[in-house]
Amino acid sequence: MTYCLAIKVNKGLVFASDSRTNAGVDYVTTYGKMHRFVWPGDRVCILLSAGSLATTQAAVNLINKDLEEGDDAEFNLRQAKHLYEIAHYVGKLVQREQRLHEKAVEKSNISVEARFIVGGQIAGREPEIYLVYPQGNYISASSETPYLQIGENKYGKPILDRIITQDTSPEDAARCALVSLDSTMRSNISVGPPMELAIYAADSLEEPRHMSLKLASPFYKTLQKRWNEGLKRAFNRLPRFDWEENK
Amino acid sequence: MTYCLAIKVNKGLVFASDSRTNAGVDYVTTYGKMHRFVWPGDRVCILLSAGSLATTQAAVNLINKDLEEGDDAEFNLRQAKHLYEIAHYVGKLVQREQRLHEKAVEKSNISVEARFIVGGQIAGREPEIYLVYPQGNYISASSETPYLQIGENKYGKPILDRIITQDTSPEDAARCALVSLDSTMRSNISVGPPMELAIYAADSLEEPRHMSLKLASPFYKTLQKRWNEGLKRAFNRLPRFDWEENK
C-alpha cells in the first residue's frame, strides 16, 4: 500500500508521500511516489501516486514522452491552460494503461488500479489540488476539506481533521502531514520511509522546497520525539473518573 | 459501520463501543453494542458486536435463550470452564445465523457477517479478551498487542499504538479508548454517540463500572476539550524548518 496526501492552504500547497511499495508481504521495496514538473515563472505540477506501481510508472513515462514530443503531442503538461486539464489528462493515461492489461488481470485476480493526486499552479491561475480516481474522473479539495489523501488514508485522517484549516501556514500544514504519515507508518507496515515532502509557496511559480526524510534524519527524529512527548502530556491532562484519587 | 474495542492490561479489562447503526446513509439509528452478563463471584462476560445488526441481535437472543434453558441447554455462558469456550460458542452462533440467510443474501448483495469481541473472567482463571471472526474462529490479545478492535478500526489505532502497554492503568486505558473513539467519530460519520464504557477490575468478579457518554456529558466534553488543547500544544512544540524564524 501507500500513503500520500496534499494540503491546500491560503499561502500554498503541501505534498507528502511515503516510499514503500509491496507485492505481497514478501516483496517490499522503496520507490519515490512524488513526481515534480517545474517550469519556473510558468507552471508547477506535482504528482503523487498510489496503487499499481506498473500503472503509475507507465503513466509517468507517458507524461514524459508527451513532454518530449513538445507541440507535436496531442496534449502535455505545458499545453494545459487549467490544472483540471492536467487532472483529466492523468485520468485518461491511467485508464488507457489499466485497459491495456484488463484481460490478463482478470485472470490473475490482481488489481492494476492507480490513483493520483495532481497539484500545483499555472501562471495567472490559483494553486489547486486534485484527486484522480482509477476510473479517470477527479475531484478537487474544498475550503472546508482542504486536503486530499490516497492509499492508506484512515490512520492519518484524525490529526488532519483536528489541525488543518485554510488559515494554517504551509509550514504547519507540512508538520501536520509528517505527523499524519508518522501515525500511519506506526500502525501499518505497508507504509514506510523515507518520507518526501514538498512545500509550494502560492504564486511563487518556483521549484517547491523539497526534502526527503529518513527515520534517522535529525529533523524527523526531533519531530517524532516532541510529538510523542506532547501526546503523553496531553494524555496525562485528561479528566479523572470520579472514583479516582487526585481528581 | 461501528467501532468497538477491548483492552487488556495487568489490572483489568476495558471495553468501549459506539452506538451508531446504519443501513445505507439514509437509515441511521442508535443501538447499544455492549452486552454484559455478570454472575458476581462466579463469572463476568462482556460482548461487543459489529456488523449485521440482524446477525448480532440473533446471536444475543440465542445466548439468552440458552441461559434460560439452564442445564437443559447444550451449552451456555454459565457452563463454560474457559473464556475461549465462550468465544467458540459465539462463533458457532454467528456462523449458524449467517448460514440461515446465506442464499437470500447472495441474491441481494448484502452482508450478514458479524464480528464479536468476547471478554471477561471466570473464577479461578485469568481475565481475557477474544475477537471472534465471522467465520467462527477467534484470536486473543497478546502482551505486545494488548487490545482488539472491530469495525472502523483504523482511525483510532495510532493513539492505542502510542499509549497502551500492559502496565497502563485500567482508567488510563479507558481514557485512551475514549480518545480513540472520539478520533474515529470525528473522521467517520458511520461511528456515533453515545459511547459505552465498561471497566472491569481484574479478579473482582463483580459488575464492571459502566457508563454511557453522550456528546453533552460533562466528562466527555472536558475530555474532548483537554485533548484538543493538548494536541494543539503538542503541535505547536514541533520543530521549525531551518528557513523559518523562531527556530
CA A175 vs. chain centroid, Å, equals 14
Q: How many domains does chain B have?
A: 1
B140 vs B87: CA distance, rounded Å: 9
Query: Cα separations (Å) of B231 from A21, A73, A161, B178, B206?
Result: 31, 50, 12, 15, 36
Phi/psi at A168 (nearest 5 deg)? Answer: -60, 140
User: Is residue B73 predicted with pLDDT exceeding 90?
Assistant: yes
Determine what percent of chain B is predicted with pLDDT higher than 90.
83
pLDDT of residue A246: 62
Strand partners, A30: A20
Give me the mean pLDDT over the A220-241 stretch. 95
Q: What is the DSSP letter of A71?
A: G
**Burial of residue B198, with CB atoms counted within 10 A of its CB: 0-12 exposed, 13-18 middle, 19 or more buried:** buried
Of residues B242 and A110, the one with the higher pLDDT is B242
**Assigned domain for A180 exists:** yes
**Assigned domain for B235 exists:** no
For cell 453522550, what's the residue? B214
Q: For B121-135, what is each residue's pLDDT tens digit?
A: 999 999 999 999 999
pLDDT of residue B108: 81
User: Is residue A176 predicted with pLDDT exceeding 80?
Assistant: yes
Search chain B and give the residue with CA nearest A236. B172
Q: Which three cell numbers stand for residue B167?
A: 502496565
Query: Cα separations (Å) of A175 from A40, B3, B210?
Result: 26, 28, 39
Contact residues on chain B for A179, CB-CB shorter than 8 A: 235, 238
Give me the mean pLDDT over the A96-119 stretch. 89
pLDDT of residue B5: 97
User: Is residue A247 predicted with pLDDT exceeding 60?
Assistant: no
**Nearest CB neighbour to B161, from listed A171, A187, A229:** A187
Q: Which three cell numbers stand for residue A151?
A: 492509499
**Assigned domain for A225 exists:** no
pLDDT of residue A156: 93
**Burial of residue A153, with CB atoms counted within 10 A of its CB: 0-12 exposed, 13-18 middle, 19 or more buried:** buried
Secondary structure element (H or E) that encloses residue A60, with its range: helix A53-69
pLDDT of residue B246: 62
How many beta-carbon pairs under 8 angstroms link A with B?
113
Residue type, A101: H
B121 vs B170: CA distance, rounded Å: 15
pLDDT of residue A22: 81
pLDDT of residue A23: 77
Search chain A and give the residue with CA nearest B222. A239
pLDDT of residue B232: 94
Under 8 Å between Cβ of A121 and A203: yes
Search chain B and give the residue with CA nearest A230. B234
**Chain A nearest CA to B57, separation (Å):** 29
What is the overall mean pLDDT for chain B?
A: 93
- Chain A from 130 to 169: CB within 8 A of any B CB: 152, 154-159, 161-163
**Chain A nearest CA to B89, separation (Å):** 31
Q: What is the DSSP letter of A204?
A: -
Contact residues on chain B for A237, CB-CB shorter than 8 A: 226, 230
* Domain region containing B48: 3-215
Q: Cβ of B16: how many Cβ atoms within 10 Å?
A: 27
**Assigned domain for B163 exists:** yes
**Nearest CB neighbour to B158, from listed A161, A172, A187:** A187
Using the beta-carbon criterion (under 8 Å), do A174 and B241 form an inter-chain contact? yes
User: Is residue B185 predicted with pLDDT exceeding 80?
Assistant: yes
User: Is residue B151 predicted with pLDDT exceeding 80?
Assistant: yes
pLDDT of residue B210: 97
Give me the mean pLDDT over the A77-106 stretch. 94
pLDDT of residue B77: 97
Strands (E), B123-194: 128-132, 138-140, 147-151
B22 vs A17: CA distance, rounded Å: 34
**Chain B nearest CA to A243, separation (Å):** 10
pLDDT of residue B72: 95
Residues in chain B: 247
Closest CA to A47 of A79, A11, A93, A102: A93
Q: How many angstroms separate the most distant Cα atoms in chain A? A: 76
Query: Cα separations (Å) of A74 from A36, A57, A67, A90, A93?
Result: 21, 20, 10, 13, 12
Look at the alpha carbons of A229, A230, A233, A235 in this order and tell me if their dihedral is positive or negative. negative
Using the beta-carbon criterion (under 8 Å), do B162 and A231 form an inter-chain contact? yes
Using the beta-carbon criterion (under 8 Å), do A227 and B238 form an inter-chain contact? yes
Give me the mean pLDDT over the B196-211 stretch. 97
Give me the mean pLDDT over the A33-56 stretch. 96
**Assigned domain for A240 exists:** no
Search chain A and give the residue with CA nearest B184. A158
**Assigned domain for B227 exists:** no
What is the overall mean pLDDT for chain A?
A: 93
Give me the mean pLDDT over the A117-140 stretch. 97
Under 8 Å between Cβ of B174 and B14: yes
**Nearest CB neighbour to A157, from listed B155, B179, B243:** B155
Contact residues on chain B for A155, CB-CB shorter than 8 A: 154-155, 157-158
pLDDT of residue A186: 86
Using the beta-carbon criterion (under 8 Å), do A231 and B234 form an inter-chain contact? yes
Q: For B11-68, what is each residue's pLDDT tens digit?
A: 999 999 998 888 777 778 888 899 999 999 999 999 999 999 999 999 999 999 999 9
**Assigned domain for A220 exists:** no
For cell 471495553, what's the residue? B15
Search chain B and give the residue with CA nearest A244. B171
User: Is residue B242 predicted with pLDDT exceeding 80?
Assistant: yes
**Nearest CB neighbour to A234, from listed B184, B186, B233:** B233
Phi/psi at A96 (nearest 5 deg)? Answer: -60, -45
Using the beta-carbon criterion (under 8 Å), do A231 and B155 form an inter-chain contact? no
Q: What is the DSSP letter of B70?
A: G
Residues 6+ apart with CB under 8 A from A212: A194, A195, A196, A197
**Nearest CB neighbour to B238, from listed A156, A158, A175:** A175
Look at the alpha carbons of B23, B25, B29, B30 in this order and tell me if their dihedral is positive or negative. positive
- Chain A from 216 to 245: CB within 8 A of any B CB: 219, 222-223, 226-235, 237-241, 243-244
**Chain A nearest CA to B225, separation (Å):** 9
Under 8 Å between Cβ of A160 and A141: no
- Chain B from 41 to 100: CB within 8 A of any A CB: none
Strand partners, A36: A46
Using the beta-carbon criterion (under 8 Å), do B158 and A183 form an inter-chain contact? yes
Assign residue B125 the CATH number of its domain. 3.60.20.10
Query: Cα separations (Å) of A206 from A77, A79, A128, B192?
Result: 16, 18, 15, 44
Q: What is the DSSP letter of A25?
A: T
Give me the mean pLDDT over the B142-156 stretch. 93
pLDDT of residue B23: 77
Using the beta-carbon criterion (under 8 Å), do A162 and B228 form an inter-chain contact? yes
Search chain A and give the residue with CA nearest B227. A234
**Assigned domain for A246 exists:** no
Of residues A1 and B154, the one with the higher pLDDT is B154
**Which region, left, alpha or beta, applies to residue B120 given φ > 0 means left and ψ of -120 to 50 means alpha?**
left
